[in-house]
């Protein structure tokens, strides 16, 4: 993130005064769905830091997460995240965008009754990318650029999420109260192949409600395919095959949303929004290993622990920004999920994280952004 913030400073110092963008004056376009596009040659760039911990958890989401899953302990539910987004106007009514985000979700597993595990991981680290284009296909004539106007756009995007392996070193397995087997050296086991990719198309409509308030409605459809699995690096074929599982899924996603951009004070835009996510036509293919030894798999990785019932997510977000200069803004943003990352990170539907997909979750993020242009006014 340090390099990203240095880019902000360099861009502000080197770029000329920005040209008038093809979006309302003072509008923060990053993180706020709208049917507006930047003018050709205009940039908007932002970086953000997100947190959840025992201080930044005003609605006690961490406690709810722990209460809903007996396997989880400690500071499970903490989150550290950082990200950046770039919007670029490339032609009249057409812009390209790119988003990148990294988050580390703390997952502390309690004692496992039938196994001896060393060096068990405590974070599920995920890298996310999205890129695409937005085309404004309708604009009202003679619009007043000091406030919102009627506009409609089509947006196409591609997404990808990849998580690091999550596991530990298996030192021993207990088959009964008196019998078991030890491994020296321990073999590395874990949840792996954690990734998904998908696409989405959505239509957006923006209009003015008053001189200081603009509204946006949108509807979208997309599809995603996800994978995950388990494995064990041990030189015992029947135990290795018992750990070999795969979980592959394909799903369709429908979205409906609405947002408001309120600028009662010109330099302090306030943005709030809601999006409903509905998962449909989910297909899940599970391949299990040798069933005779399935009890040797740690319980938090077993295929029979995979929950697939949650198909809806209600998301709320709100942000307050301050234009420190005509080019640079600072902001704080909060986002709430009724079903954590359902419909947001499809490969989280795996034995480790599916158990808390139906639990509410949220985070707070600080944001720094800059908007500038290549040409004059």
Letter string b/e over residues 345-356, b meaning 16 or more CB atoms within 10 A of that residue's CB: bbbbbbbbbbbb
Give me the residue spans of the domains in the chain.
2-373
End-to-end CA gap in the chain: 31
- Its pTM stands at 0.87
Task: For residue 151, count CB atoms less than 10 angstroms from its CB and return exposed for 0-12, middle for 13-18, buried for 19 or more.
Answer: buried
Inter-residue contact 194 to 350 (CB < 8 Å): yes
Inter-residue contact 191 to 351 (CB < 8 Å): yes
Query: Is CATH 2.40.128.130 the right assignment for the domain spanning 2-373?
Result: yes
Evaluated on CA atoms 52, 58, 60, 61, the torsion sign reads negative
Inter-residue contact 222 to 181 (CB < 8 Å): no
Tens digits of pLDDT across the chain (377 residues): 444 444 444 444 444 333 344 788 888 888 889 999 998 989 999 999 999 887 766 566 666 666 656 677 778 888 999 999 999 999 889 999 999 999 999 988 877 777 788 899 999 999 999 999 999 999 987 667 778 999 999 999 999 999 999 999 888 877 666 667 787 788 888 899 999 999 999 999 999 999 899 999 999 999 999 999 988 887 777 777 878 889 999 999 999 999 999 998 889 999 999 999 999 998 988 888 766 666 667 777 877 767 667 899 999 999 999 999 989 999 999 999 998 889 999 998 888 887 777 788 889 999 999 998 764 43
């Amino acid at each position: 993130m340090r390099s990203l913030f240095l880019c902000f400073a360099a861009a502000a110092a080197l770029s000329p005064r920005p040209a008038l963008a093809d979006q309302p004056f003072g509008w923060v376009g990053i993180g706020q769905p709208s049917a507006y596009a930047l003018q050709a040659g205009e940039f908007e760039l932002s970086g953000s830091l997100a947190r959840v911990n025992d201080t930044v958890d005003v609605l006690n989401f961490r406690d709810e997460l722990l209460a809903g899953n007996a396997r989880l302990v400690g500071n499970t539910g903490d989150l550290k995240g950082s990200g950046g987004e770039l919007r670029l106007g490339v032609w009249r009514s057409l812009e390209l965008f790119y988003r990148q985000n990294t988050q580390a979700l703390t997952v502390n597993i309690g004692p496992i009754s039938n196994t001896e595990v060393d060096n068990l991981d405590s974070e599920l680290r995920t890298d996310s990318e999205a890129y695409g284009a937005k085309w404004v296909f309708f604009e009202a004539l003679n619009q007043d650029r000091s406030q919102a106007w009627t506009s409609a756009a089509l947006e196409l995007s591609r997404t990808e999420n990849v998580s690091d392996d999550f596991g530990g070193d298996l030192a021993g397995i207990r088959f009964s109260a008196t019998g078991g087997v030890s491994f020296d050296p321990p073999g590395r086991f874990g949840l792996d192949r954690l990734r998904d990719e998908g696409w989405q198309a959505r239509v957006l409509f923006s209009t003015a409600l008053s001189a200081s308030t603009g509204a946006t409605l949108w509807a979208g459809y997309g599809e995603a395919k996800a994978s995950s699995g388990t494995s064990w690096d041990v030189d015992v074929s029947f135990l290795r095959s018992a750990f070999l599982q795969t979980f592959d899924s394909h799903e369709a996603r429908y979205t409906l949303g609405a947002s408001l951009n309120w600028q009662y004070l010109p330099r302090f835009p306030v943005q709030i929004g809601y999006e409903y996510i509905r998962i449909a036509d989910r297909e899940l293919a599970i391949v299990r290993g040798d069933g005779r030894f399935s009890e040797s798999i740690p319980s938090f990785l077993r295929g029979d622990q995979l929950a697939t019932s949650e198909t809806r997510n209600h998301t709320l977000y709100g942000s307050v920004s301050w234009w420190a200069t005509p080019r640079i803004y600072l902001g704080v943003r909060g986002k709430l999920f009724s079903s954590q990352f359902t419909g947001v990170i499809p490969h989280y539907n795996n034995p480790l994280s599916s158990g808390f997909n139906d639990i509410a979750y949220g985070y707070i993020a600080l944001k720094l952004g800059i908007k500038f242009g290549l040409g004059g006014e």
